[in-house]
Amino acid sequence: MRLIRVLDLEGTSGLKDHDLKQIGKFLHLRYLSLRGCADIYHLHDSLGNLWDHQMLDVSGTGIIKLPKTIIKLKKLQYLRAGNVPNDDATSSLELNESSDLFKRLQEATNTALDMASTYRSRNNHTNNVKKRNIYHKSKVLLISIMLGLDLHGVEAPDGIGMLNALHTLGVVNVASGKGVLDELEKLTQLRKLGLTGINKKNNQGVLSATANLALLHSLSLRVDGEPGLHGCLDDKFSTPRNLQSLKIYGNLVTLPTWIAQIQHLAKLKLLSTQLELACSMEVLGKLSHLAILRLWKNSFKGEELMFHFQHGTFPSLEVLELADLDGVKSLSFMQGAIPRLELLQIKNCIHVDNNGFSGVSSLPSLKEVMLKGEYHDKLMKNLCDQIALNQNQPALKGA
């Protein structure tokens, strides 16, 4: 067993911290996944013994702070932590409700902590592991709230900049100060980076640190609640020259001017950004290499959103996804708009007008239209009629 190189425990229920005490004896272990093991809150110090370790996934666990021992893993290339939903789990992403969530968590945690503390005081000699875990879970939740940590990112240890082999890192909470940003700037081999905890005190440091990561091709920025990212990304930003994928989750209000200057941007996803529709789409439509655009819940503000795709816009776009946008009323495509669009996905945009689709027949490269949610029969007939007129005969699918 100690010669094992891959240990995948993803989603294992009932796995606890104490079950991993011997992990440091698996000296040849290169890959460890604890993804989705919700009862894991700490990594044992013996993890630092894994001199050949290359991939570590602790996302979806209760870990809110990475241990100091992790900086001993000099060959580590892939490190995922925090609680990040899958891309297709749109309905679970309700960032605008995060403030209420934290209030409820705090109330529930205080109650649970008091109860667990009382139990421990009355049972000083118990060895009941389950009760200790309940107490620990309550304590972790409360501490994370008090320290201003969110449920999506983790705090990185001092010295993480020594992990020179890292090419994938996220999601790191940078709210703790300048130190963590200085460390991140040392990770010059990073290709993918996810950050949360961005605010007006550290925003310049965040932009400066990421600008110096020359090999970075994927960047995710996330802040829950209010004020979110409003005013945090407005500064001048010399984006990494190889940046191809950008995800922005959180209240943004205004699209940063530097987005228009990302020469190789191919993928963009927006969620809860609360942008103005017309001016933002005008900027995005000029991105010459943009191939995938995902617009999720509350990416635009307004109760009557009308998407008009003009001639010559989005010249390279192949995938367009609109998900959980309650205010969407219509989508119209002018002749010559989005000439390379192959996949149009509309998910749970249930307020689209019966005649809300127009110009679908003029999309020359369209292969598939996917519709998820409940829609009126008149809308479906209108859409089917347009698809039938499309020379490419795209498929209409439901999900």
Q: What is the pLDDT of residue 126?
A: 43
User: Which helix (H) or strand (E) covers residue 95, if one does?
Assistant: none
Residue 19: pLDDT over 60: yes
List the alpha helices (DSSP H) in the chain: 98-122, 129-146, 178-185, 203-211, 277-284, 377-389
pLDDT band at 160 (very low <50, low <70, confident <90, very high): very high
Tell me the residue type at 363.
L
Give long-range contacts, CB 8 A cutoff, 24+ apart: 234-243. 235/203, 235/204, 235/207, 237/207, 237/211, 238/211, 239/210, 239/211, 240/210, 240/211, 240/213, 240/214, 240/215, 240/216, 241/214, 242/214, 242/215, 242/216, 242/217, 243/216, 243/217, 243/218, 243/219
In a domain, 396, yes or no: yes
Of 103, 131, 146, the residue that ends a domain is 146
What does the pLDDT look like over 323-379, one tens digit per residue?
Answer: 999 899 999 999 999 999 999 999 999 999 999 999 999 999 999 999 999 999 999
The SS3 of residue 368 is strand
In a domain, 308, yes or no: yes
**What mean pLDDT do residues 377-389 have?**
94
Q: What is the pLDDT of residue 132?
A: 47
In a domain, 108, yes or no: yes
Of 106, 129, 146, the residue that ends a domain is 146
In a domain, 356, yes or no: yes
In a domain, 122, yes or no: yes
Percent helix, percent strand, percent coil in the chain, to nearest 5:
30, 20, 50
Residues 6 or more apart whose Cβ sits within 8 Å of residue 201: none
In a domain, 234, yes or no: no
In a domain, 370, yes or no: yes
**CA trace torsion 181, 165, 262, 179 (10° rounding):** 0
DSSP lists the bridge partners of residue 55 as 31, 78
Of 105, 131, 146, the residue that ends a domain is 146
pLDDT band at 231 (very low <50, low <70, confident <90, very high): confident
Q: What is the pLDDT of residue 361?
A: 96
Range(s) of the domain holding residue 398 = 303-399
Rounded to a whole number, what is the largest CA-CA distance in the chain? 77
pLDDT band at 128 (very low <50, low <70, confident <90, very high): low
Q: In angstroms, rounded to a whole number, what is the distance separating the alpha carbons of residues 373 and 44? A: 45
In a domain, 314, yes or no: yes
Structural domains in the chain (count): 2
Q: What is the pTM of this model?
A: 0.84
